[in-house]
């Protein structure tokens, strides 16, 4: 068994020792730690800046600035200029003149001599700079002293003018002097300050504000008007100021200053008795450290604020003392080390007070407790019931929802055994998982199951998921660890989902409105019957009309009532709703039930009127029968019964039809054609041709018949004889006819005023469509006078709905539209309707015309028709005139008008228009 490494915090005592050691070491070496040094410098700078003071004014800086360089125009200057300056200053009675310029290299002899003379004659003492510098750039090369030319140094005082940078890259210190050729020689600052000392390094007092040093541009001195007397008795420093002369150094507090000013500030530090003193602070720091340690150890009994406030007070006092010492006594006190000692003292005190070890351990413990509390909260608040159990199958944790879901009351199940709480199947599952675990430990195992319980009389459906997770637990009394497990049982209430699923299941199999099986389920149920079985598709006649008239609610109730009746019938074995107003029933064949009997039985269901909501309603049905003997898919049985129903729908009134494969095929084709027609209608594949009609007496064009054409991209030119009957059967002719009417009227409005247009109207249009409105719209849109529109109807129109048709025709005639009876002689033999119907013209069918010349009987029929028309006061049009003979015969019989290939085949609109314009006479006799 692998032991886990446990991290242990160092003991409080060890920590105390470490901190004390750190404090003591710091007190001894803190001053040399770069970070603390930087901090000390920063504090010293802050004190300089906080208590500024002015320069004494006894040293004047004559600056070689930009203005001076511009005035003299050349650099380096001829030495005679320095000579002039020295002479002028001497005349003015100035004190010392320090020229901070390197004269170590010779210029011209005369110039050097001129400067040497000036130096010699100077009333005041001239000081020239010497520099300590390395011979070469190599590290460790020997140091040499750069001096002015011998002729110059003989006539002047020499002073060191070195400026050196401190560790932090700024100029902090200056020296009082150095050795020149073995002789102690003062620095420029020492000479200017007239001190006697020539050795030692000191801090420059940067509290002296460089801006307060009297500074004059050298160019002004050179000016003849300058009152040199102003400088009387003052020491003079001449040196570079202009940036391009590169005598600029970084300094604390002020950023950058020119080298000559640094000499002045250094001299001022001496003059003002501000040679800043530093001292070895270590003994004081050690004493302070001891005090801090003592205080920290002694303060463990205090509240935390006391040591913190004490430390802050000590800090403030310390800093104030250091500030006053530097400001008033030129004594520099470094406080960074002491501050750090104080800080460590606080850490020591804190360690004593709270025992860091314990504190950190407690921190870690609190985190663990927090995690445990969070996990517990997650479990408690879970909407799923969660039970956590140990290897004894004893519950040690549970969610609030578990109490409710398992109906265990507020006391809950903690401490109970799982067996007391969950149902047997779940418990068995847990036991079997636990057994698997003991056989092969160390693997996570999980299993799910759905079960139902009864709570307060209501059934609850629950999904349970059991997980067994291996854990290591210490074996009592030994150091080794045992592989055991903890388990969780998560129970989700899926009652709502289950109900929903059941509902979905129901809806996918049954019709929600009637409760009957839907198409799929009914088709499946057919498979359970012994063959032969009769399948009847039952369509409610005119249900959609009824639905629209009575409202959907009544329609729904009627459908429910039909379903009830079908189900209640003792001979109907099963019933379903195929959709809309179509039902289906199955009746097994028996001695008394052959196909016909079954059909009549189903039709008989509708004999009695339906009664609901104090309403009595009668509805007819049409039935399609298919008797299944084959082993086809039951879907096909249904389809065939539906084909038969389609067939039955073509007959008038209630009735039934058996399945007929030929009819089905026709229906299929016509359905295909119907779909193609509807598609073509939207893509403008229909067009009209116009066949000329002439006055037979004169051969003069007097109109044209509009004939519909359909050019399908795949089927080619489809004959109206093929598509018109299909369009009539499915009612599509109403749309098509309206379209033809509109276009024919628009076209005819372009023709001369004496020409009429004849438009064919299908019988359905008279019954279903509002033909009167369609005609009105077409005339209004085209502007065609009603008298120039002839409508051709066929005899079949008169078989049904006589009154409605009569009304429509009368309205049309009242508008001025002329009505022609097309294909006269081929339809129904009864002539009675001729008198009753409002007609203007008879169109003699082409079959008689064609045979007229050869066949006596046909000729006789034509003669009879002519006299019949005359008798009824109707005009006549003969169709199908193909020869001059036919024309002449018809003309001599007194037939007024005619059309046929002899006068012209159906023409495109443009061709007909051309004909009306160019050739009013057709086939003149
Ligand atoms: P219909 O109204 O009797 O039209 C006359 C038919 O006879 C047309 O055939 C025409 O092309 C054809 N015809 C005319 N003169 C001669 C001839 O000298 N010899 C021969 N052999 N035939 C001739 P089409 O265009 O094939 O039309 C057939 C039928 O389709 C029409 O008979 C009409 O009942 C129907 N139809 C055509 N267009 C429409 C329409 O727009 N609406 C309706 N409802 N039916 C239409
Ligand atoms: Mg016609
Ligand atoms: Mg005809």
Worst-scoring range by mean pLDDT, 359-363, 514-518, 564-568?
359-363
Rounded distance from Cα 869 to ligand 1 centre (Å): 22
Whether residue 4 has pLDDT greater than 90: no
Rounded distance from Cα 879 to ligand 3 centre (Å): 6
Whether residue 865 has pLDDT greater than 50: yes
With the most atoms of ligand 1 within 8 angstroms of its CB, the residue from 711, 720, 774, 906 to mutate is 720
Nearest CA to ligand 1 atom 41: 708
Residue with structure tokens 């320069």? 55
- The whole-angstrom separation of Cα 834 and Cα 818 is 15
Whether residue 778 has pLDDT greater than 90: yes
- The whole-angstrom separation of Cα 356 and Cα 368 is 18
Q: Please, which residues have CB less than 5 A from ligand 3, an ion?
A: 822-823, 879
Average pLDDT estimate for 391-415: 83
Which pLDDT value is given to residue 822? 92
With the most atoms of ligand 1 within 8 angstroms of its CB, the residue from 763, 879, 901 to mutate is 879
Average pLDDT estimate for 247-269: 92
Rounded distance from Cα 759 to ligand 2 centre (Å): 7
Band (pLDDT 50/70/90 cuts) for residue 6 is very low
Rounded distance from Cα 925 to ligand 2 centre (Å): 25
Q: For residues 132 and 800, which has the higher predicted lDDT (pLDDT)?
A: 132
- What percentage of the chain carries pLDDT values higher than 90? 45
- The whole-angstrom separation of Cα 723 and Cα 679 is 14
Locate the ligand 1 atom nearest the alpha carbon of residue 708 and give its number. 38
Rounded distance from Cα 797 to ligand 3 centre (Å): 14
Which pLDDT value is given to residue 606? 94
Cα-Cα-Cα-Cα dihedral sign, residues 175, 179, 185, 188 = negative
Band (pLDDT 50/70/90 cuts) for residue 171 is very high
Long-range contacts of 845-850 (CB under 8 A, 24+ apart): 845/879, 845/880, 846/879, 846/880, 846/900, 847/880, 849/878, 849/879, 849/880, 849/881, 849/882, 849/886, 849/890, 849/900, 850/880, 850/882, 850/886
Residues 293-305: b if buried by 16+ CB within 10 A, e if exposed: bebbeebeeeeee
DSSP category for residue 337: H
Nearest CA to ligand 1 atom 20: 880
- The whole-angstrom separation of Cα 57 and Cα 578 is 119
Whether residue 557 has pLDDT greater than 80: yes
Residue with structure tokens 């030929």? 662
Rounded distance from Cα 26 to ligand 3 centre (Å): 127
Average pLDDT estimate for 640-655: 86
Band (pLDDT 50/70/90 cuts) for residue 478 is low
30: left (phi over 0), alpha (psi -120 to 50) or beta: alpha
Q: In the structure, which protein residues have their CB atom closer than 6 angstroms to any atom of ligand 1?
A: 691, 707-708, 719-721, 724, 733, 737, 740, 760-762, 792, 822-823, 846, 879-880, 882, 899-901, 906
Rounded distance from Cα 20 to ligand 1 centre (Å): 124
Which pLDDT value is given to residue 767? 79
- The whole-angstrom separation of Cα 155 and Cα 97 is 13
| Cβ proximity of 707 and 720 under 8 Å | yes
| Cβ proximity of 97 and 122 under 8 Å | yes
Nearby residues of 907 by Cβ (< 8 Å), 6 or more positions away: 689, 690, 691, 692, 704, 915
DSSP category for residue 787: G
- The whole-angstrom separation of Cα 888 and Cα 307 is 141
Whether residue 925 has pLDDT greater than 60: no
Residue 667's CB is within 10 A of a number of other CB atoms, namely 19
Which pLDDT value is given to residue 826? 78
Which ligand has an atom closest to residue 688 CA? 1
Average pLDDT estimate for 872-889: 93
Which pLDDT value is given to residue 828? 57
Nearest CA to ligand 1 atom 13: 880
Locate the ligand 1 atom nearest the alpha carbon of residue 688 and give its number. 41
Whether residue 924 has pLDDT greater than 50: no
> How many helices (H) does the chain have, and how many strands (E)?
33, 34
Band (pLDDT 50/70/90 cuts) for residue 92 is confident
Band (pLDDT 50/70/90 cuts) for residue 578 is very high
Q: Three-class SS of residue 76? A: coil
Average pLDDT estimate for 290-311: 84
| Cβ proximity of 759 and 741 under 8 Å | yes
pLDDT in tens, 408-465: 666 788 889 988 888 888 899 999 999 998 888 878 999 998 888 777 788 888 899 9
442: left (phi over 0), alpha (psi -120 to 50) or beta: left
Average pLDDT estimate for 550-569: 92
Q: Three-class SS of residue 178? A: strand
Whether residue 830 has pLDDT greater than 60: no
Per DSSP, what are the bridge partners of residue 80? none
Rounded distance from Cα 791 to ligand 1 centre (Å): 13
Q: For residues 388 and 474, which has the higher predicted lDDT (pLDDT)?
A: 388
- The whole-angstrom separation of Cα 923 and Cα 905 is 13
Average pLDDT estimate for 468-492: 79
Locate the ligand 1 atom nearest the alpha carbon of residue 740 and give its number. 41
| Cβ proximity of 15 and 357 under 8 Å | yes
Per DSSP, what are the bridge partners of residue 470? 485
- The whole-angstrom separation of Cα 842 and Cα 627 is 49
C-alpha distances in Å from residue 903, one per residue of 694, 699, 921, 925: 8, 9, 10, 12
Q: For residues 78 and 584, which has the higher predicted lDDT (pLDDT)?
A: 584
Average pLDDT estimate for 577-590: 92
Average pLDDT estimate for 692-719: 92
Average pLDDT estimate for 160-176: 89
Locate the ligand 1 atom nearest the alpha carbon of residue 792 and give its number. 2
Which pLDDT value is given to residue 819? 95
Worst-scoring range by mean pLDDT, 345-354, 725-734, 869-878?
345-354
CA-nearest of 918, 900, 831, 906 to 867 is 831
| Cβ proximity of 690 and 747 under 8 Å | yes
Nearest CA to ligand 1 atom 7: 880
Which pLDDT value is given to residue 559? 95
Q: For residues 477 and 813, which has the higher predicted lDDT (pLDDT)?
A: 813
| Cβ proximity of 80 and 115 under 8 Å | yes
Structure tokens at 687: 């067009």
- Interstrand relation of 818-824 and 789-794 (parallel, antiparallel or unpaired): parallel
Nearest CA to ligand 1 atom 33: 760
DSSP category for residue 78: P
Which ligand has an atom closest to residue 844 CA? 3
Nearest CA to ligand 1 atom 26: 720
Average pLDDT estimate for 872-876: 93
Which pLDDT value is given to residue 829? 46
Average pLDDT estimate for 151-160: 88
Strand order in the sheet with 445-455: 395-398, 385-389, 481-493, 458-474, 445-455
Per DSSP, what are the bridge partners of residue 64? 240
pLDDT in tens, 603-639: 999 999 998 778 888 999 999 999 988 777 889 999 9
Average pLDDT estimate for 38-48: 92
Which pLDDT value is given to residue 3? 44
**Cα 11–15–21 angle (5° rounding)?**
150
Rounded distance from Cα 879 to ligand 2 centre (Å): 9
Mean pLDDT over the full length of the chain: 87
Structure tokens at 787: 């008298």
Which pLDDT value is given to residue 709? 95
- The whole-angstrom separation of Cα 692 and Cα 757 is 9
Rounded distance from Cα 881 to ligand 1 centre (Å): 13
**pTM flag (> 0.75):** no
Which ligand has an atom closest to residue 744 CA? 1
Band (pLDDT 50/70/90 cuts) for residue 8 is low
Worst-scoring range by mean pLDDT, 176-185, 344-353, 676-685, 686-695?
344-353
Q: Three-class SS of residue 601? A: helix
Whether residue 686 has pLDDT greater than 70: yes
């Amino acid at each position: 068994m692998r032991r886990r490494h446990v991290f242990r915090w160092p003991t409080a005592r060890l920590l105390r020792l470490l901190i004390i050691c750190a404090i003591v070491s710091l007190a001894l070496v803190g001053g040399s730690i770069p970070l603390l040094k930087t901090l000390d410098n920063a504090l010293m700078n802050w004190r300089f800046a906080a208590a500024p003071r002015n320069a004494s004014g006894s040293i004047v800086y004559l600056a070689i600035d930009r203005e001076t360089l511009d005035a003299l125009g050349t650099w380096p200057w001829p030495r005679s200029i320095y000579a002039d300056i020295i002479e002028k200053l001497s005349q003015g009675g100035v004190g010392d003149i320090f020229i901070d310029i390197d004269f170590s290299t010779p210029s011209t002899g005369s110039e050097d001599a001129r400067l040497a003379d000036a130096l010699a004659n100077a009333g005041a003492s001239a000081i020239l700079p010497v520099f300590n510098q390395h011979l070469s750039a190599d590290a460790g090369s020997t140091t040499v002293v750069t001096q002015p030319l011998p002729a110059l140094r003989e006539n002047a005082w020499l002073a060191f003018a070195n400026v050196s940078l401190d560790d932090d890259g700024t100029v902090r210190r200056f020296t009082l002097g150095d050795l020149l050729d073995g002789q102690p020689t003062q620095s420029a600052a020492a000479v200017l300050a007239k001190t006697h000392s020539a050795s030692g390094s000191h801090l420059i007092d940067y509290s002296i504000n460089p801006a307060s040093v009297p500074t004059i541009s050298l160019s002004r001195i050179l000016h003849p008007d300058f009152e040199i007397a102003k400088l009387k008795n003052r020491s003079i420093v001449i040196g570079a100021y202009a940036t391009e002369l590169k005598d600029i150094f970084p300094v604390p507090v002020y950023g950058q200053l020119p080298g000559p000013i640094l000499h002045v500030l250094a001299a001022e530090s001496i003059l003002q008795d501000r040679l800043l003193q530093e001292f070895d602070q270590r003994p004081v720091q050690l004493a302070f450290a001891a005090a801090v340690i003592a205080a920290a150890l002694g303060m463990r009994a205090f509240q935390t604020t006391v040591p913190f406030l004490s430390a802050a007070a000590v800090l403030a006092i310390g800093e104030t003392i250091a500030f006053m010492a530097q400001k008033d006594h030129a004594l520099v006190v470094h406080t960074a080390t002491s501050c750090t000692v104080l800080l460590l003292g606080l850490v020591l005190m804190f360690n004593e007070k709270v025992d860091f070890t314990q504190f950190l351990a407690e921190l870690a413990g609190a985190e663990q407790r927090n995690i445990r509390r969070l996990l517990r909260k997650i479990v408690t608040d879970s909407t799923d019931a969660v039970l956590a159990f140990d290897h004894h199958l004893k519950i040690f944790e549970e969610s609030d929802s578990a109490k409710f879901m398992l109906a265990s009351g507020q006391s809950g199940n903690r401490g109970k055994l799982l067996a007391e709480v969950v149902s047997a199947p779940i418990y068995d599952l847990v036991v079997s998982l636990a057994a698997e675990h003991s056989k092969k430990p160390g693997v996570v195992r999980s299993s799910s199951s759905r079960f139902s319980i009864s709570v307060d009389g209501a059934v609850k459906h629950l999904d349970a998921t059991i997980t067994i997770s291996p854990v290591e637990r210490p074996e009592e009394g030994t150091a080794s660890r045992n592989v055991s497990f903890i388990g969780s049982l998560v129970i989700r209430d899926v009652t709502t989902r289950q109900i929903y699923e059941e509902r979905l299941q129901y809806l996918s199999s049954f019709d929600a409105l009637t409760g009957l099986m839907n198409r799929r389920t009914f088709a499946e149920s057919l498979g359970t019957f012994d063959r032969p079985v009769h399948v009847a598709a039952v369509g409610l006649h005119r249900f959609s009309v009824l639905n629209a008239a009575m409202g959907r609610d009544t329609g729904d109730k009627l459908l429910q009532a039909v379903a009830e009746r079908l189900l209640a019938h003792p001979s109907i074995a099963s019933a379903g709703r195929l959709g809309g107003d179509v039902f289906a029933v199955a009746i097994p064949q028996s001695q008394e039930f052959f196909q016909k009997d079954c059909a009549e039985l189903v039709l008989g269901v509708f004999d009695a009127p339906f009664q609901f909501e104090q309403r009595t309603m009668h509805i007819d049905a049409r039935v399609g029968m298919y008797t299944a003997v084959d082993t086809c898919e039951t879907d096909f049985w249904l389809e065939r019964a539906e084909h038969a129903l389609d067939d039955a729908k073509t007959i008038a009134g209630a009735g039934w039809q058996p399945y007929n494969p030929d009819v089905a095929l026709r229906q299929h084709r016509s359905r295909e054609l119907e779909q193609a027609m509807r598609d073509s209608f939207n893509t403008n594949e229909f067009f009209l041709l116009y066949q000329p009609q002439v006055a037979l007496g004169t051969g003069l064009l007097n109109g044209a018949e509009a004939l519909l054409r359909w050019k399908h991209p795949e089927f080619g030119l489809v004959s109206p004889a093929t598509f018109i009957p299909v369009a009539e059967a499915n009612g599509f002719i109403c749309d098509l006819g309206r379209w033809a009417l509109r276009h024919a009227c628009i076209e005819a409005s372009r023709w001369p005023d004496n020409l009429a247009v004849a438009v064919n109207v299908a019988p359905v249009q008279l019954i279903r469509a509002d033909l009167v409105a369609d005609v009105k719209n077409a005339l209004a849109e085209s502007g065609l006078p009603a008298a120039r529109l002839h409508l051709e109807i066929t005899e079949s129109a008169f078989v049904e709905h006589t009154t409605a048709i009569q009304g429509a025709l009368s309205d049309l005639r009242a508008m001025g539209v002329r009505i022609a009876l097309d294909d006269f002689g081929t339809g129904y033999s009864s002539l009675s309707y001729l008198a009753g119907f409002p007609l203007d013209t008879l169109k003699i069918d082409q079959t008689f015309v064609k045979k007229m010349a050869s066949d006596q009987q046909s000729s006789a029929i034509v003669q009879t028709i002519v006299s019949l028309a005359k008798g009824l006061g109707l005009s006549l049009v003969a169709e199908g005139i193909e020869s001059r003979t036919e024309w002449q015969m018809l003309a001599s019989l007194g037939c007024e008008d005619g059309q046929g290939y002899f006068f012209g085949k159906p023409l495109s609109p443009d061709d007909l228009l051309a004909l009306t314009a160019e050739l009013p006479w057709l086939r003149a006799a």
